[in-house]
């Protein structure tokens, strides 16, 4: 949990965020959660009543601070999406728990924050079509399953084919990548694809999972990107959106390493967002 505070401190120190640019979310209300998750599941999680196998599948102990963080992170993704619609780009210091399904969590994910944000904005009628761009090294399987057959949400995931989850779900577009892919090959794989998809789908909002686990030093990811490669990826995605006047909300997604290098990697999407916002006159 320390990484969230460290990321906050780093952004302030580097001038990537100023106090007036920071917004504090409220925990998501239950009615938002229930657009995506079953009441049985979220109540069992909050009351510490998940079965041992459900707990194991998540891989985190359900402590009181974790329960609080979980509801707050979902509220934060909804707020980030709203701020993106207002300002063009907005970045969440948490979020990206894309392995959560309607009735169970998995892979360190409890609630699917991007799915809840999408469902809230669609239910309110704020937007009618959006795209999830998920570049975490792991497939966004929960998100793909939750929106299977829903034409309002286009789920794109580019992920390492041999990484978790073993059994992949079918999104609107899945791009499985080979182990060991480096910066050049990775950026070539998504460089035309992301802009082309935005032209085809014409979403009113992009929810971008900028997981940093494709980094070569990540303990779980099997891709081989450098920090510069990740930064160029963030520039590419955000620039492609802003060029088309498509608002983009980013979430930090996964990353597994020592805290210091990890937090620096998570800061890259904020760096790219600040830079692209300037370049596009936001
Ligand atoms: Zn991941």
Q: Quote the ligand 1 centre to 138 CA distance (angstroms).
A: 4
Say yes or no to pLDDT of 273 above 90: yes
**What contacts 68, CB < 8 A, 6 or more positions away?**
27
Distance, CA 125 to ligand 1 centroid (Å)? 30
The CA 282 to ligand 1 mean position distance, Å, reads 30
What pLDDT digit, counting tens, does each position of 100-136 carry? Answer: 999 999 999 999 999 999 999 999 999 999 999 999 9
Coil/strand/helix, residue 106: strand
CA–CA dist 10, 267 (Å, integer): 8
CA separation, residue 180 to residues 17, 159, 177, 246 (Å): 33, 12, 9, 32
Ligand 1 mean position to 252 CA, how many Å? 10
pLDDT of residue 219: 97
Is the pLDDT score of 28 beyond 90?
Answer: yes
- Cα–ligand 1 centroid distance for 281 (angstroms): 32
- Which pLDDT score, from 0 to 100, does residue 58 have? 96
Mean pLDDT of 77-104: 98
Annotation marks residue 23 as catalytic: no
Q: Mean pLDDT over residues 56-71, rounded?
A: 91
Say which of 42, 92, 98, 99 is annotated catalytic. 99
Say how many Å lie between the CA of residue 20 and the centre of ligand 1. 31
For the stretch 208-237, pLDDT in tens is 999 999 999 999 999 999 999 999 999 999
Determine what percent of the chain is predicted with pLDDT higher than 90: 97
154 CB contacts (<8 Å, ≥6 apart)?
Answer: 129, 130, 131, 132, 172, 173, 197, 201, 203
DSSP assignments along 223-259, one per residue: --B-HHHHHHHHHHHHHHHHHTT--EEEE-----S-H
Amino acid 62: pLDDT: 81
The predicted pLDDT at position 261 comes to: 98
What pLDDT sits at residue 63? 87
Distance 116 CA to ligand 1 centre (A): 19
Inter-helix orientation angle 183-191/227-243, to 10°: 10
Per-residue pLDDT at 61: 83
CA of 68 to the centre of ligand 1 (A): 22
Share of the chain above pLDDT 70, in %: 100
pTM to 2 decimal places? 0.98
Average pLDDT along the chain = 97
- Torsion, Cα of 73, 74, 79, 85 (10° steps): 120
- Alpha carbon separation from 106 to 54, 101, 154, 162 (Å, rounded): 8, 8, 22, 17
């Amino acid at each position: 949990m320390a990484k969230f505070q460290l990321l906050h401190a780093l952004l302030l120190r580097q001038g990537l965020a100023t106090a007036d640019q920071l917004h504090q979310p409220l925990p998501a209300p239950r009615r938002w959660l229930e657009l995506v998750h079953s009441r049985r599941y979220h109540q069992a999680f909050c009351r510490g009543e998940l079965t041992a196998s459900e707990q194991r599948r998540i891989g985190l102990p359900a402590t009181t601070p974790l329960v609080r963080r979980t509801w707050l992170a979902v509220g934060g993704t909804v707020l980030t999406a709203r701020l993106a619609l207002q300002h063009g780009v907005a970045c969440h210091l948490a979020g990206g728990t894309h392995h959560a399904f309607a009735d169970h969590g998995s892979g360190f994910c409890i609630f699917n924050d991007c799915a809840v944000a999408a469902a809230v904005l669609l239910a309110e009628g704020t937007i009618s079509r959006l795209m999830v761009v998920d570049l975490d090294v792991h497939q966004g399987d929960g998100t793909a399953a939750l929106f299977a057959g829903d034409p309002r949400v286009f789920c794109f995931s580019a992920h390492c084919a041999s990484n978790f989850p073993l059994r992949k779900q079918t999104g609107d577009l899945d791009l499985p990548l080979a182990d060991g892919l480096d910066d050049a090959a990775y950026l070539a794989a998504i460089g035309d694809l992301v802009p082309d998809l935005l032209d085809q789908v014409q979403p009113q909002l992009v929810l971008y999972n900028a997981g940093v686990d494709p980094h070569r030093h990540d303990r779980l990811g099997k891709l081989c990107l450098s920090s510069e490669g990740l930064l160029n990826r963030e520039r590419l995605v955000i620039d492609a959106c802003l060029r088309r006047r498509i608002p983009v909300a980013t979430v930090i997604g996964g990353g597994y390493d020592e805290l210091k290098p990890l937090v620096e990697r998570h800061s890259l999407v904020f760096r790219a967002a600040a830079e692209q916002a300037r370049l596009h006159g936001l």
